[in-house]
Structure 1
Amino acid sequence: MSEKDPQSRQLILDFPVSPDFNFSNFVRSEGSEFAWQAARQVSSSIDLPYHSLYFYGDRNLGKTHLLMAIGNAITENFPDKKIIFINGREFVRKFSENNAHEITKVINPLLSTDYFLMDDVDLISGKPSVQEKLYHIYNTLLENNKTSIFTGRDRPEKLVAMEPYLKSRFQWGMTAEIKPIDDGTTAKIIAKLAKDVGLSIPQKIIDFLLTHIPRDFISIKTAVEKINKESFARKRKVTLPLAKAALNLP
């Protein structure tokens, strides 16, 4: 993940980013299937009836993963298209600066991109002037038939301290909820990842992990990798104390 402009740190990212962010390893379940399908559709077709997509759900359910997967897929499918990614916190920082010249340098690329990807849009809550900038960006892109994709913790109408005109814009396009992955699906993923590296994790340890690790694929994979590394280093089978030590859990 590299930066095109040192003045816009973490603002404009080169795609493709980490190959871990793709559709094939996104943890799909009944609660995320619609969001996954919508993400695949928006990244594989330029002829859609909508130009805005909003994913919402709790933390650690894979919203960022899905957003990055969209960027990677667009790069592969439409290499001539320009993509911009920004996190809500960084957006606030950039547009809270008082230097008008710097703000102009930041906003101009956003107004000319083909795909605007914004993660954690709820982090601009309570910032009216910043929200006004996003409203301007959204409208400009919409007028030019460009696509805006957002992620947030809550459905648009429930966003706290967000201007009504911006809430309405988020609802203009497609909205898709990402719900927590069910225990059965998560358990199967843990067992499969463990089997792939030749690791045996007892069911009681899997049951423990279900209540102690996030439910997105990268977090699950990282947990299994840490347990495998700890097991190899100690030359011991996986036990609850070993798993806790590997994951730094009490």
Structure 2
Amino acid sequence: MSKTLQDSASNFDLINLDLRPEITLDDFRSASFRPILEAITKLRDGKLHELFIVGDRGFGKTHLANAIYNEYTRHTGKMVINLNLSEIIEQDPHAESLVGLELFDLIIIDDLQLVRHKQEWQEGLFHLINRIREHRKQILYFATMPARELQISLLDLQTRLSLAPMLTLPDNNDVEDRRILINTILKKKNWRLPAEIFEYLVIEGPHNAGGIISVLEFIKPLFTKLSRVQIPKKTINEAKEIILRETFMLEIADNVVTTEY
């Protein structure tokens, strides 16, 4: 190996935490995810036609939706559409995006909770579900709460959503789950943390992927271009302080959002 390559290998890579490329179900390999992965396998194999997955903000619903999209298309060769309502619902007040979706073999609807104050979207989704059942296609819902807690005014829609088998995303309270999650995030960008900071982030940092990524963005400047074997204690302590501060701020923000809901 040349000296240039050796020098490059001894430095931390710049963090780039865009998680969309190469998303797979391997990113969810912890024991807590086993029931969800088993259900996804049944969905992929055509043994399950509807599934409702619940998870709090920042716990990886959209990441999982993208992984399922990749898994399903790769293994079945069938047509899938992944519809994230947070990206389209305000621009499409009449729910025209739902027209004709029964042509797809699997329809993934992310951020389903956003339809609860949108009457036309509720009606459009109700008719879409009827068409999907008529054509024996499949549908997968992601939401921040169970169907019966969504306060949907169209009761027939609430009933149909409630009939889908429901599973809840892990809350990552298990320490080993968090280790796997942080390792997955770092591995995707070929970036390493000092062991002391890694463990501190596991124990003291956020429990969800969104929060972890946010904290990593704050500590990134401290470790960029630093040698792995020459990290000042001052830098380690500063990183710990940032982890505590930003985790606390995220908890406050989450409490505000929960209160608003």
- The residue type paired with residue 201 of structure 1 is A
The answer to whether the Cα contact below 8 Å between 1:29 and 1:182 also exists between their aligned partners in 2 is no
Q: Distance in 2 between matches of 1:147 and 1:85?
A: 12
Post-superposition CA distance 1:66-105 (Å, at most 9, x none): 21111101111112x11111112345235414xxxx93xx
Q: Distance in 1 between matches of 2:21 and 2:182?
A: 22
**TM-score, structure 2 as length reference:** 0.70
Distance apart, 1:122 and its partner CA: 0.2
- The residue type paired with residue 233 of structure 1 is K
**Structural RMSD (CA):** 3.4
Give SS of 2:239's match.
Answer: helix
- The residue type paired with residue 81 of structure 2 is I
Among 190, 202, 219, the alignment partner of 2:196 is 202
Among 222, 225, 228, the alignment partner of 1:230 is 222
Q: Do residues 87 (structure 1) and 84 (structure 2) align?
A: yes
Higher Rg:
2
Count of residues in Structure 1 that have an aligned counterpart in Structure 2? 221
Post-superposition CA distance 1:171-221 (Å, at most 9, x none): 223211113012421453378567975542316x634554443523x7647
Determine the structure 2 residue equivalent to 1:215: 208
The answer to whether the Cα contact below 8 Å between 1:119 and 1:151 also exists between their aligned partners in 2 is yes
Among 70, 73, 79, the alignment partner of 1:72 is 70
Moved more, 236-245 or 18-27: 236-245
Distance change in 2, residues 1:36/1:199 (3 Å): same
Distance change in 2, residues 1:94/1:82 (3 Å): farther
Structure 2, gaps ≥5 residues long: 1-18, 250-261
Q: Do residues 145 (structure 1) and 136 (structure 2) align?
A: yes
Q: Distance in 2 between matches of 1:190 and 1:67?
A: 16
Distance change in 2, residues 1:51/1:20 (3 Å): same
Distance apart, 1:131 and its partner CA: 0.4
Distance apart, 1:125 and its partner CA: 1.1
The answer to whether the Cα contact below 8 Å between 1:87 and 1:119 also exists between their aligned partners in 2 is yes
Q: Say which structure is richer in helix.
A: 2
Determine the structure 2 residue equivalent to 1:158: 149
**TM-score, structure 1 as length reference:** 0.72
Moved more, 229-238 or 149-158: 229-238
- The residue type paired with residue 79 of structure 2 is K
Distance apart, 1:28 and its partner CA: 2.4
Q: Distance in 2 between matches of 1:171 and 1:191?
A: 33
Structure 1, gaps ≥5 residues long: 1-16
The answer to whether the Cα contact below 8 Å between 1:26 and 1:65 also exists between their aligned partners in 2 is no
- The residue type paired with residue 150 of structure 1 is Y
Among 86, 97, 113, the alignment partner of 2:104 is 113
